Amino acid sequence: MAEQRRPLVAGNWKMNGCVADLDEIAAIRDHVASGAAGIAEVAVCPPATLLMAAARLCADSALRLGGQDCHAAPNGAHTGDIAAEMLKDAGASYVIVGHSERRADHAETDADVRAKAAAALRAGLSVILCVGESRAEHEAGEALAKVGAQLAQSLPEGIPADRLVIAYEPIWAIGTGVTPTRGHIAAMHGFLRDELRHHVAGSADAVRLLYGGSVKPGNADELLNASNVDGTLVGGASLKAEEFLPIMQFYSNR
Ligand code: 13P
């Protein structure tokens, strides 16, 4: 029997948010406290500059925080980079690794991503690993092959299943308003679930599989109802508590 997975609704703020936007984090925290997310866990990954202040706001709260990237090393001469240990120290529980924007903007390879995921585990963080195919790969029918290869090459060997979240984010759906069909998402997530059996320590059924890419209040029901979808990684619609709230509420009646 499949294990019960607690859904995760996570916001990726990307390079958005200044001190004034901590009000949104406080509002999300209050929504979580009021039970708006039902059975789901909720996390926000703000820019690193806001992490410590956000952690102060979220002390005694069930709202979790995450970083958006980390360096593979625990410290050292890496100007501008942030170690997983620093994210943990600042109050993060999660770190996103392998986001397609990092892969594109910083030429991150699967090997880089694997080293970052290993660093996250070393630091005591849980990993949100992003995978996803480009538009050209999608149109060529290569989505499963691409994502399968990313998974195989980006996961540290024997990663504990309960410390791993996979976010399937087709690049062509990120920030475009275009979304895959529910059938496409279900097929990809079913494939991911099967593939994970070769890669994780513990039961692959414990790994949460998130869908990400243009999730909005108006399409959350359609997208999150796909089979094997255990939550979502939300970009633009996570920046304002009032837009994030209806997405969290998907899980309030389950
Ligand atoms: P959007 O929700 O803005 O499309 O971004 C998705 C994403 O990249 C989350 O990591």
Helices (H), the chain: 22-33, 51-58, 84-90, 100-105, 110-123, 135-139, 143-154, 182-196, 220-224, 241-248
CB-based contact 86:69 (threshold 8 Å): no
Which protein residue's CA is at the shortest distance from atom 2 of ligand 1? 235
Using the CB atoms, write b or e for 180-190: b if 16+ within 10 Å. bebebbbbbbe
Enumerate the β-bridge partners of residue 168. 131, 211
In a domain, 104, yes or no: yes
Catalytic residue, from 99, 138, 189, 199: name it. Answer: 99
pLDDT, position 3: 55
CATH number at residue 201: 3.20.20.70
- In a domain? residue 110: yes
The reply to whether ligand 1 has any atom less than 6 angstroms from the CB of 174 is yes
Ligand 1 pocket check for 12: Cβ under 6 Å: yes
Q: Whose CA is nearest to atom 5 of ligand 1?
A: 235
Q: What is the pLDDT of residue 253?
A: 76
Q: Among residues of the chain, what percentage have pLDDT more than 90?
A: 96
What is the tens place of the pLDDT at every residue in 120-176? 999 999 999 999 999 999 999 999 999 999 999 999 999 999 999 999 999 999 999
Q: Which residue has the higher pLDDT, 4 or 217?
A: 217
Q: Pick 253 or 133 by higher pLDDT.
A: 133
**Structural domain that includes position 149:** 78-208
CA-to-CA distance for 134 and 85, rounded, in angstroms?
A: 32
User: Is residue 182 a part of any domain in this protein?
Assistant: yes
Mean pLDDT for the stretch of residues 209-222: 97
C-alpha 61: how far from chain center:
20
235 lines ligand 1 (CB under 6 A): yes
| Mean pLDDT confidence for 222-240 | 97
In the chain, the number of structural domains is 1
Per the listing, tokens 């995921």 go with 117
State the average pLDDT over residues 94-117: 98
- Per-residue model confidence (pLDDT) at position 222: 96
**The pLDDT of residue 1:** 40
